[in-house]
């Protein structure tokens, strides 16, 4: 009999070994085992439960710093890993120090003997664990977007031993990394629970030996304001503490230390570095996110925030006049579902498509809750076969008092305007191009398509929300000049038209018409600038082909751009010379740019409401890794899912990339001609047994042969573990270092050149931006699960 074969049974019986039920339960659990096995199990349990009076001293035996602990009436020397194991295994041995617990503490993973045996075994096998290297590259640093660390006083890098008494009575050894008059940061074992806002007593045992002070010896009262993971070791965490006691003991000790000739501590500017780093990642996110933020005052849409990557989504909601009509997506009934009283956040899935008829574009949209099953399948059949088919995920959250408080610091001049805002809606395109066939495979209902007319959008009024560019950069390619003159036009279908020029540039015109324009966007009209021709009859400004780019809702104003046909090159050059020679007579129309504080306010309302999981891919000496991930608290369902794969503390991107990060990202991360965008869906099953991750199974949507194969995988995954479908969108990231604020980087260079260069190098090595979206519910509905 191998003991390992019965290890689970032995551990199950250990806590009951000293109870009357032990013999009965042993007989029951070993009924199908040979009598020799039963005897050996009983002997092993008796051996493991034998009381042990030997002190434990792990100094020099483990890869870690050991501290003295008083346990079971004896002094023991344990490191952070061992003390974690002690409190984890103690209940199994009924709270006693036994031979089994003694052996457990001498067999921790960082024990030099255990590490040597594992390395020897690994060499004999010829390879190590399958996913060790991949996991380490897929455990990114967590960045809490929208929350910045600011300190009212300087901290000193200073390491000293402390003894912390928790509110539970446990005593924990720790080491400070920095210290100030009113706070500190301490490394402590991860085995204990450190509830935020709870009080602890910190005794500065080492400082008290040099500077005798009752406060240092007896302890000072601190409050826990944060608990951070230690990315170098999972066996300990960092506590951020704030002093709650009125005492100058720390201040006096620090002043004395700093005047000592051998003092090696230095002033800490970590808060400024971390803030700059966080804001730089946020800026990169704001440039590359595809989410479309909409800002509401009750039922009225007031602002739309446009980024570099959501312009296509914004353009989708423009009709044949190139007028925005996204406001009709939020009708009264939907707003009543999204703006629920007392609900901080609500979500809605929307299916959309458009129809072109008589040069007019008509939009349809419907959510699953608005339709019966028959209507939904009909909507799928009519919409999914069209190029305009889209699936949108809308998340609306209420603006609360905390948001207004934050905006008061960011944009005080805009506070009166911002106070009127009540909600933020974030629109995401979660369309899966290869998933259209799944909608069409459902049986088509026999009912008439007229039942879907209630989902048809009105054409007017158009959206009056103010469009704000996130970049705060001019959007015009060239200056426009105000000029009033008569214009003649000819439209192929409508015929001759008369109008008046409002403003012009070398490549475009803005014209008011005397009669409604019957055409649509992209139509070609022939334009003659009569006033210019009268001045110079040789001017090549007659019968010029212009393309219509926007028509006003009343159709009495159109905007045009000069087509790229070769004859127009000469005309464009003539207009440029005309403008240059008449600069003193022309009035430049300045582009109205949004006020920076208003843009910052819009950014803050977005950064604290992440509906995607943004992440950044780094290339270091050819190796790829996920270096950082943006998060919000409380965690989303997707956040918790990735955290489950990472062992509960860290977010792991192993469910997305597995051991194939190179192959699953190379189209975007390759140095030459990367794809502008890569979108894929991944079916992920985290196989969990006894509350531990046993395996992670990931399949790209394209790896399934059919919908039946997808359904079978889903059915299998839902039986044992956790299942999710994750939409992964990636784009190349070039020159990410430009997202670092130059003035703040210069200030950091003067203060700490090494850290400033490190931050710059970190951003130079970024090669891709990605965002994950949980689309499980939509995919299950699409598959009919």
CA distance 604 to 282: 10
User: Is the separation of the CB atoms in 777 and 349 below 8 Å?
Assistant: yes
pLDDT tens, 22-39?
777 777 777 667 776 777
Q: Which residue has the tokens 């780019």?
A: 549
The answer, yes or no, to whether residue 2 has pLDDT greater than 50, is: no
Q: Could you tell me which of 327, 426, 429, 444 has the C-alpha nearest to residue 383?
A: 444
Asked whether residue 260 carries a pLDDT value surpassing 60, the answer given is yes
With a cut of 60, say whether residue 667 has pLDDT above it.
yes
Q: Tens digit of pLDDT for each residue in 338-375? A: 988 878 899 999 999 999 988 889 999 999 999 999 99
pLDDT given for residue 270 in this prediction: 63
DSSP per-residue letters across 292-341: EEEEEETTEEEEEEE-SSSHHHHHHTB-TTS-B-GGGGS-HHHHHHHS-T
Q: Determine the Cα–Cα distance for residues 765 and 748; give it in Å rounded to an integer.
A: 20
Q: Give alpha helix (H) positions in 49-201.
A: 80-89, 99-105, 112-125, 132-137
Answer whether 483's CB lies under 8 Å from 343's CB: no
77/69 Cα distance (integer angstroms): 6
pLDDT tens profile 319-340: 999 999 999 999 999 999 898 8
The pLDDT-based confidence of 388 (bands split at 50, 70, 90) is: very high
Q: What would the mean pLDDT of 75-100 be, rounded to a whole number?
A: 86
Averaged pLDDT of the chain: 86
The confidence score (pLDDT) of residue 413 equals 80
pLDDT at residue 128 in the model: 33
CB 481 within 8 A of CB 503: yes
Q: What is the pLDDT of residue 4?
A: 52
pLDDT score, position 133:
52
Distance between CA atoms of residues 20 and 632, nearest Å: 51
What are the pLDDT digits (tens) for 57-69?
888 788 777 888 8
Peptide bond into 634 cis (omega under 30): yes
- pLDDT tens for residues 268-292? 456 678 888 999 999 999 999 999 9
The residue among 2 and 285 whose pLDDT is bigger is 285
Task: Report the alpha-carbon distance of residue 320 to residue 336 in Å, rounded.
Answer: 29
| Closest C-alpha to 703, from 744, 669, 658, 644 | 658
**Per-residue pLDDT at 546:** 92
Does the pLDDT value for residue 441 go beyond 70? yes
Please tell me the predicted confidence (pLDDT) of residue 23.
72
Q: How far is CA 567 from the centre of its chain?
A: 49
Stretch 241-267: mean pLDDT: 76
- ∠ Cα 167 173 175 (to 5°): 115
The string of pLDDT tens digits covering residues 550-580 is: 999 889 999 999 988 877 888 888 888 888 8
**pLDDT of 264 over the 60 cut:** no
CB of 317 closer than 8 Å to CB of 329: yes
Burial 59-91 (b: 16+ CB within 10 A, else e): eebbebebbebeeeeeebbbbbbbbbbbeebbe
pLDDT tens, 416-438?
888 899 999 999 999 998 888 99
Q: Of the ranges 45-54, 120-129, 492-501, 600-609, which one carries the lowest mean pLDDT score?
A: 120-129
Nearest CA among 103, 25, 118, 114 for reference residue 61: 114
pLDDT in the model for residue 560: 93
DSSP secondary structure code for residue 76 in this structure: E
The pLDDT assigned to 132 comes to 52
CA distance 497 to 525: 10
Partners of 457 in the beta sheet? none
pLDDT score for 129: 32
Q: Residue 152 above 50 pLDDT?
A: no
**pLDDT tens, position by position, 678-709:** 999 999 999 887 777 888 889 999 889 889 99
pLDDT for residue 173 is more than 70:
yes
Percent of the chain with pLDDT over 70: 93
Structure tokens at 781: 């509905």
pLDDT over threshold 60, residue 747: yes
Q: Quick one: pLDDT at residue 127?
A: 36
Structural domains of the chain, ranges and CATH numbers in brackets: 1-49 (no CATH), 54-128 (no CATH), 155-268 (2.40.10.220), 290-469 (no CATH), 480-589 (2.40.10.220), 612-783 (no CATH)
**pLDDT tops 80 at residue 131:** no
| Arithmetic mean of pLDDT, 89-104 | 88
Nearest residue to 685 (alpha-carbon basis) of 697, 676, 675 = 697
> In the chain, pLDDT over 90 holds for what percent of residues?
39
Tens of pLDDT, residue by residue over 302-325, are 999 999 899 999 999 999 999 999
pLDDT of residue 200: 93
| DSSP run (H or E) holding 717 | helix 707-719
């Amino acid at each position: 009999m191998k003991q390992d074969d019965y290890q689970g049974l032995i551990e199950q019986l250990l806590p009951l070994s000293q109870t009357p039920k032990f013999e009965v339960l042993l007989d029951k659990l070993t009924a199908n085992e040979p009598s020799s096995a039963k005897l050996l199990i009983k002997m092993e349990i008796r051996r493991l439960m034998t009381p042990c009076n030997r002190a434990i001293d792990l100094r020099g035996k483990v890869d870690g710093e050991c501290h003295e602990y008083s346990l079971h009436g004896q002094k023991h020397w344990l490191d952070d890993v061992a003390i974690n194991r002690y409190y984890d295994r103690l209940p199994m041995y009924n709270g006693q120090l036994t031979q089994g617990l003694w052996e457990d503490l001498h067999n921790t993973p960082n024990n030099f003997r255990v590490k040597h045996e594992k390395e020897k075994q690994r060499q004999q096998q010829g390879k190590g664990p399958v996913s060790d290297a991949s996991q380490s590259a897929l455990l990114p640093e967590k960045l809490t977007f929208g929350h910045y660390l600011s300190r009212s006083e300087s901290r000193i890098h200073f390491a000293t031993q402390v003894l912390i008494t928790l509110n539970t009575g446990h005593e924990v050894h720790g080491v400070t990394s920095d210290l100030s008059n009113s706070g500190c940061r301490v490394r402590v074992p991860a085995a204990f629970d450190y509830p935020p806002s709870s009080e602890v007593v910190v005794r500065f045992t080492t400082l008290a030996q040099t500077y005798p002070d009752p406060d240092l010896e007896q302890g000072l009262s601190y409050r826990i304001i944060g608990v951070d993971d230690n990315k170098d070791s999972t066996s300990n965490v960092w506590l951020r503490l704030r002093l709650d006691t009125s005492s100058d003991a720390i201040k006096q000790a620090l002043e004395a230390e700093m005047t000592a000739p051998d003092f090696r501590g230095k002033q800490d500017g970590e808060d400024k570095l971390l803030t700059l780093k966080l804001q730089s990642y946020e800026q990169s996110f704001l440039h590359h996110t595809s989410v479309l933020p909409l800002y509401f005052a009750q039922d009225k849409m007031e602002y739309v925030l446009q980024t570099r990557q959501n312009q296509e989504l914004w353009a989708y909601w423009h009709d044949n006049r190139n007028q925005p009509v996204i406001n009709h997506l939020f009708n009264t009934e939907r707003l009543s579902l999204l703006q629920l009283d007392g609900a901080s956040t609500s979500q809605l899935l929307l299916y959309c498509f458009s129809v072109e008829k008589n040069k007019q574009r008509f939009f349809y949209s419907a959510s699953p809750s608005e339709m019966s099953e028959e209507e939904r399948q009909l909507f799928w059949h009519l919409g999914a076969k069209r190029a305009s088919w889209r699936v949108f995920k809308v998340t609306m959250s209420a603006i609360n008092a905390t948001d207004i408080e934050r905006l008061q610091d960011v944009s005080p001049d805009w506070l009166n305007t911002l106070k009127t805002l009540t909600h933020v809606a974030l629109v995401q395109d979660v369309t899966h191009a290869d998933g259209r066939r799944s909608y069409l495979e459902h049986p088509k209902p026999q009912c008439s398509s007229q039942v879907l007319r209630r989902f048809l959008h009105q054409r007017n009024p158009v959206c009056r929300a103010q469009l704000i560019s996130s970049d705060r950069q001019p959007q015009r390619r060239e200056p426009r000049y105000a000029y009033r003159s008569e214009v003649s036009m000819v439209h192929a279908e409508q015929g001759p038209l008369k109008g008046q020029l409002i403003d012009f540039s070398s490549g475009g015109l803005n014209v008011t018409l005397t009669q409604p324009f019957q055409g649509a966007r992209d139509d070609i009209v022939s334009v003659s600038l009569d006033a210019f021709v009268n001045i110079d009859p040789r001017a090549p400004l007659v019968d010029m082909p212009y393309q219509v780019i926007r028509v006003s809702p009343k159709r009495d104003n159109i905007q045009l751009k000069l087509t790229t046909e070769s004859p127009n090159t000469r005309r464009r050059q003539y207009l440029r010379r005309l403008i240059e020679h008449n600069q003193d007579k022309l009035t430049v129309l300045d582009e109205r740019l949004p006020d920076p504080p208003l843009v910052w306010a819009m950014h803050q309302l977005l950064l604290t409401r992440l509906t995607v999981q943004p992440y950044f891919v780094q290339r270091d000496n050819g190796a790829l890794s996920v270096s950082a991930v943006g998060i919000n608290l409380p965690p989303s369902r997707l956040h918790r899912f990735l955290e489950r794969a990472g062992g509960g503390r860290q977010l792991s991107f192993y469910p997305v990339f597995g051991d194939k990060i190179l192959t699953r990202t190379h189209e975007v991360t390759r140095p030459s001609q990367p794809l502008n965008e890569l979108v894929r869906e991944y079916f992920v099953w985290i196989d969990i047994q006894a509350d531990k991750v046993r395996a992670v199974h990931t399949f790209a949507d394209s790896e399934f042969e059919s919908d039946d194969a997808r359904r079978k995988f889903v059915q299998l995954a839902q039986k044992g573990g956790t299942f999710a479908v994750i939409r992964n969108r990636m784009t190349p990231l070039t020159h990410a270092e430009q997202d670092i604020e130059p003035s703040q980087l210069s200030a950091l260079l003067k203060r700490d050149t090494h850290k400033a260069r490190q931050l710059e190098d970190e951003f130079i090595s970024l090669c891709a931006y990605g965002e994950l979206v949980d689309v499980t519910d939509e995919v299950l509905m699409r598959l009919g699960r």
